Amino acid sequence: MTVSGLKNWLLWAAIMAALILWFSWGQRPTMVGLFIASGLAVGSLYALGGIGIVVLFRATGVLNFSGGAAGAAGAMTAWQLETWGLWPPLAWLGCIAVALAFSLFYGRIVAPRLAWRETVVKAVATLGYALIILGLVSFLWADDPRSISLPTDGVGIRFLGMRLTATRLLVFAASIAIVIGIYFFLARSKVGLQMRSLADDRDLSALIGIPILRVETIAWGIAGVLAGFTGLMFADLIRLEASVITFMVIPSIAAAICGRLENLTVVLVGGLSMGVIENLLTLSPLLRGVRPIAPFVIAALVLLWYQRGQKLTFGGKD
Amino acid sequence: MVNTLFRVTPSGWAGMACLALAIFIVPEIVGTRWLSVFTSTGCFALAIAGVAFMYARLGMVSLTQVGLMGVGGWVTLRLNHAFDFPFEVNMGIAALVTMICGWILALPALRMRGLYLALVTLMAAGGLEIMFATFQFPNGGDGFWGVQTGSSDPFRRPWLAQSPQAYMRYVFVCVALGFVFIEIHRRLKPGRAWALIRRSEAAAIAAGVNVTLYKTWAFGIAGLLAGGAGALLAGSLGLLDDGTFRASESVMIFALAVVGGARYWYGAILAAVLFRVLPALLNNWGVDADLSFVIFGAGLLHAVITAPDGIAGQIRDALLSRRKGANSGKGGADA
C-alpha cells in the first residue's frame, strides 16, 4: 500500500470515528450499537449493488442502471411464487434466475449493438432497459403493500446486549464474502485474468484473442446474480416495492463512485460507511429529515477528494 | 457580422411558424386539461433545451436538470409569497439563483469529464430530490421554508397573462426566447469555443481557449434555462409538488433529450412532448400509466441504437433526402 493510500485510510477512520462520536454523544450505547448494526445492513445492500456495478463496468465498460430493476423483477417473482405456495428456497432461486435472465438478455442482445457509443450513452441506454423492466413489473404487480420474509428474520442473535436478526448478519457477511470471492476470482482464475485484461485495454485484449463476448457474458451473469440477491435482501429488509428497489441503484452508484468504479474493497467500505452514517443521522434532531441525502454527499465529497490538486490538462481517459 | 448573427435559417423559419401556430391556434382549440398539459410541456421544453444544448455542443451530460428546475420553482414561490415583486422579477431572480447553483455544482465537477461529470450531477439530483421531499415548496406559510398545511396562498401570474390561455402563450414565447438565446450564443465567440472544445480539449487549450470558463458558461446557461423553466412551471399551477422533481425525472429528461435529438431545437420540443403529452394521451386512451414507461424505455433503446441524432435527426435526414430527390428529379439543379 502506498503512503497516500495509507493516509486516505487513516483519514477515513478518523472521520468515521469523529462522526460516530458526534452523533452518539449523550445516547445510550446499545441504541447507538443498534443503529450502527442496522446501518451496516443497509450499507451492505448499497455495497452489494455497487460491487455488481463495478464488476460489470470494469469488464464491459457499461455502467448499469438496470441492476435495481432486474432485482425488483426478481423479488416480485419470488413473492408471487411464494404466494402460489411454492417451496420458499425455490422462490428465492426464482428471484435470482429472473434477475440473471434480464441481465443476460441485455448483455447478449442489446449491449453489443452499443459497443461503439460513448460510455455515458451506454449508461443511459441501460436506463431505458430499467424503465422497460420497471414498467412491466409495475404493470404485472399493481401497487399493493406486499412483503417478503426470509426464515432468517425470525432468528435473533444476541451480541453485546443487542438483538440482531440473522438476515442483517447474512447480508453483511455476504457482502464481505462476495468481495473476497470476486477478488480471488479476478486474481486466480483464467476468466478473471481475461476480465482484468479487458478492463485494462479492450482493443489490445481483442487483438491477443481474448473471447470478449464470452467474458462479457460471464460479467453480465455475475451482475445479474448479484442484482437478484440484492433485490431479494432489499425486499426483505427495507421494502418490497418495484420503484423503490429500481432506484436503489442511485445510492449503489454512490458506493461505486467511492471506489472510483474500480476498487472493490473501497466500494464495500464506502457502502458500509454510507449506511452507518445515514442511520446515525436519525439520532440528530437537526439532520434527521435529510437522512437519505448522506450517500450522495459522501460520494460527492469522495470524488472531490480524489480530484484534489488535479488540473484540467490534455485529454486522457475519463 | 450582424447579418450572419441574425440570419434566419430554414429551420429558424420553421420554428417561427411553429411558434405562431402554438400562440395563435393551439390556445383557442384545446380544453382546460390540455392547456395545462401543453403549458407544462413548454416549461419542460425550455429545461430540455438546456440539457440538450450542453450535450450536443460540449458532450457534457447533466443529470440534474429537473432538480435545478425545482430550485428555480422554489425561489419563485418563495419570492412570490414573501414580497410583492411582479412575476417577471421573481422569474429573473429565480433563473439567476439557479444559474449560480448550477455553477456551484459545475465548478468542482468541471475537472471531471464524461461519465464522472454525469455521476456528480446524478448525486446532486438525488440530494435535491430529498431536500424537496423534506422541506416541500413554499405555499405562503411562515419562516424561511414557508410551508403551511391546508390550502396555499394565491400566486401572482404575470399581468400580461392572467388567463390560462394567455399564460400558455406567455410560456411559449419564453421558450422561443430561450431557443434564440442559445442560438445567438452558438453563433458568437462562445459557440466557436464550444465547437473547438467539443472537437478536442487539447486543441482548445492549445488555441488559447479558456476551457474552464466556457464549460462553466455552458453550465450556467443550462442552469438559467432550468431556473426559468421552474419559475414558469410554478406559475402554471401556483404551487409545486416534490414528486415532480425526482432524480429519476432528471435522468429521464436527459434520456428523452437524446431520443428527441439533442442537436436540433425541434428535438427538445419532441422530447418535451414525449415527456408530458404522451403520458396524458395514453391516459386518455385508457392505457396503463406503467406501460408508458415501457414505451419510453423501448423508444430510448431504439433511438440510442439506431439513431444517434434522435428523432429530430431522422426527420431532418428524411426532409433533406426528399429535397435532394426532388432536385435530382429536376435534372440535377445542384450540379
The HSE-up count of residue A29 (CA atoms within 13 Å, CB side) is 3
Residue that has been written with the C-alpha cell 436506463 in this structure: A127
Count of domains observed in chain B? 1
Nearest CA in chain B to A252: B123
Is A278 contained in some domain?
yes
Q: Output the average pLDDT for chain B.
A: 83
Mean pLDDT check: name the lowest of A10-24, A303-317, B69-83, B206-220: A303-317
Give B165-176 pLDDT, tens digit per residue: 888 888 888 999
Please give the pLDDT value at position B328. Answer: 61
User: How many whole angstroms separate alpha carbon B61 and alpha carbon B68?
Assistant: 14
ipTM score of complex: 0.83
CB contact under 8 A, B111 and A312: yes
State the distance between the two ends of chain A, measured CA to CA, in whole angstroms: 24
CA angle A40, A44, A50 (to 5 degrees): 140
User: How many whole angstroms separate alpha carbon A66 and alpha carbon B33?
Assistant: 34
Asked if B61 has any chain A CB less than 8 Å from its own CB, the reply is yes
Give B254-285 pLDDT, tens digit per residue: 888 888 888 888 888 888 988 888 888 888 88
**A290 closest CB neighbour out of B61, B122, B134:** B134
Residue that has been written with the C-alpha cell 406486499 in this structure: A146
The HSE-up count of residue A7 (CA atoms within 13 Å, CB side) is 5
Q: What's the DSSP call for residue B9?
A: P
CA distance A160 to chain B (A): 34
Domain of B87? 2-278
C-alpha cell at B20: 405562431
CB contact under 8 A, B123 and A299: yes
Instruction: Give me the sign of the Cα torsion angle B77, B83, B88, B92.
Output: negative
Nearest by Cα to B64 from B19, B110, B141, B119: B119
Please give the pLDDT value at position B229. Answer: 93
- pLDDT reading at A161 higher than 70: no
Share of chain A above pLDDT 90, in %: 28
| Interface probe, candidates B215, B254, B259, B300, chain A, greatest A C-beta count within 10 A | B300
Please give the pLDDT value at position A316. Answer: 47
CA angle A263, A267, A273 (to 5 degrees): 145
- pLDDT reading at B226 higher than 90: yes
User: How many whole angstroms separate alpha carbon A75 and alpha carbon A99?
Assistant: 9
Q: Which residues contact B251 (CB under 8 A, 6 or more apart)?
A: A65, A124, A127, B63, B122, B125
Determine contact, residues A245/A76, Cβ cutoff 8 Å.
Answer: no
Is A156 contained in some domain?
yes
CA distance B91 to chain A (A): 27
Tell me chain A's radius of gyration from C-alpha atoms.
Answer: 20
Angle separating helix axes B247-260 and B265-272, nearest 10 degrees: 130
Per-residue pLDDT band at A103 (split at 50, 70, 90): very high
Per-residue pLDDT band at B69 (split at 50, 70, 90): very high
If phi > 0 it is left, if psi is from -120 to 50 it is alpha, else beta; for residue A150 that is beta
| Interface probe, candidates B110, B111, B113, B123, chain A, greatest A C-beta count within 10 A | B123
Is A6 contained in some domain?
no
Please give the pLDDT value at position B2. Answer: 62
Q: Which residue has the higher pLDDT, A186 or B3?
A: A186
Please give the pLDDT value at position A227. Answer: 93
CA angle A53, A59, A65 (to 5 degrees): 30
C-alpha cell at B84: 410583492
**Residues A138-157, mean pLDDT to the nearest whole number:** 78
Nearest CA in chain B to A253: B119
State the distance between the two ends of chain B, measured CA to CA, in whole angstroms: 29
Is B87 contained in some domain?
yes
pTM, rounded to two decimals: 0.85
Q: What's the DSSP call for residue B194?
A: H
Please give the pLDDT value at position A318. Answer: 40
Please give the pLDDT value at position B333. Answer: 38
Asked if B131 has any chain A CB less than 8 Å from its own CB, the reply is yes
Nearest CA in chain A to B212: A312
Please give the pLDDT value at position A143. Answer: 75
For residue A125, which residues of chain B lie inside 8 Å, CB to CB?
300-301, 304-305
- Burial grade of A265 (CB within 10 A; 0-12, 13-18, 19 or more): exposed
Please give the pLDDT value at position A133. Answer: 92
Asked if B213 has any chain A CB less than 8 Å from its own CB, the reply is no
Q: Which residue type occupies B211?
A: V
- Classified as helix, coil or strand, B333 is coil
Q: Which residue has the higher pLDDT, B5 or B192?
A: B192
Is B235 contained in some domain?
yes
CB contact under 8 A, B255 and A124: yes
Question: What are the residues facing A159 on neighbouring strands?
Answer: A162
User: How many whole angstroms separate alpha carbon B213 and alpha carbon A307?
Assistant: 18
CATH code for the domain in which residue A48 is found: 1.10.3470
Is B24 contained in some domain?
yes
Is B315 contained in some domain?
no
- Count other Cβ atoms within 10 Å, centred on residue A83: 11
Domain of A90? 31-304
Q: Which residue type occupies B244?
A: T
Q: Which residue has the higher pLDDT, A54 or B303?
A: A54
Count of domains observed in chain A? 1
Q: Output the average pLDDT for chain A.
A: 85
CA distance B245 to chain A (A): 14
List all residues of chain B from 37 to 56 with a beta carbon under 8 Å from chain A: none
- pLDDT reading at B109 higher than 70: no
User: How many whole angstroms separate alpha carbon B253 and alpha carbon B312?
Assistant: 16
CATH code for the domain in which residue B122 is found: 1.10.3470
Nearest CA in chain B to A57: B115
Is A19 contained in some domain?
no
C-alpha cell at B165: 390561455
Mean pLDDT check: name the lowest of A114-128, A155-169, A295-309, B73-87: A155-169
**Residues B111-137, mean pLDDT to the nearest whole number:** 83
Is A2 contained in some domain?
no
Please give the pLDDT value at position A311. Answer: 59
Per-residue pLDDT band at B19 (split at 50, 70, 90): confident
If phi > 0 it is left, if psi is from -120 to 50 it is alpha, else beta; for residue B240 that is beta
- pLDDT reading at A128 higher than 50: yes
Share of chain B above pLDDT 70, in %: 94
Asked if B247 has any chain A CB less than 8 Å from its own CB, the reply is yes
Asked if B286 has any chain A CB less than 8 Å from its own CB, the reply is no
CB contact under 8 A, A296 and B212: no
Give B79-103 pLDDT, tens digit per residue: 888 888 888 888 899 999 999 988 8
Please give the pLDDT value at position B334. Answer: 38
Mean pLDDT check: name the lowest of A144-148, A301-305, B1-5: B1-5
CB contact under 8 A, B297 and A117: no
Concatenating the DSSP letter of every residue in chain A gives --HHHHHHHHHHHHHHHHHHHHHHTTS-HHHHHHHHHHHHHHHHHHHHHHHHHHHHHHHHS---S-HHHHHHHHHHHHHHHHHTT--HHHHHHHHHHHHHHHHHHIIIIIGGGGTTS-HHHHHHHHHHHHHHHHHHHHHHS-S-------GGGT-EEEETTEEEEHHHHHHHHHHHHHHHHHHHHHHHSHHHHHHHHHHH-HHHHHHTT--HHHHHHHHHHHHHHHHHHHHHHHHHHT---HHHHHTTHHHHHHHHHHTTTT-HHHHHHHHHHHHHHHHHGGG-TTTGGGGGGHHHHHHHHHHHHHHTT----S----
- pLDDT reading at B330 higher than 60: no
For residue B286, which residues of chain A lie inside 8 Å, CB to CB?
none
- pLDDT reading at B154 higher than 80: no
Asked if B209 has any chain A CB less than 8 Å from its own CB, the reply is no
Q: What's the DSSP call for residue B309?
A: T
Instruction: Give me the sign of the Cα torsion angle B150, B151, B156, B158.
Output: positive
**Residues A301-317, mean pLDDT to the nearest whole number:** 66
Q: Of the ranges A106-120, B9-23, B220-234, B291-305, which is most confident?
A: B220-234
For residue B199, which residues of chain A lie inside 8 Å, CB to CB?
none
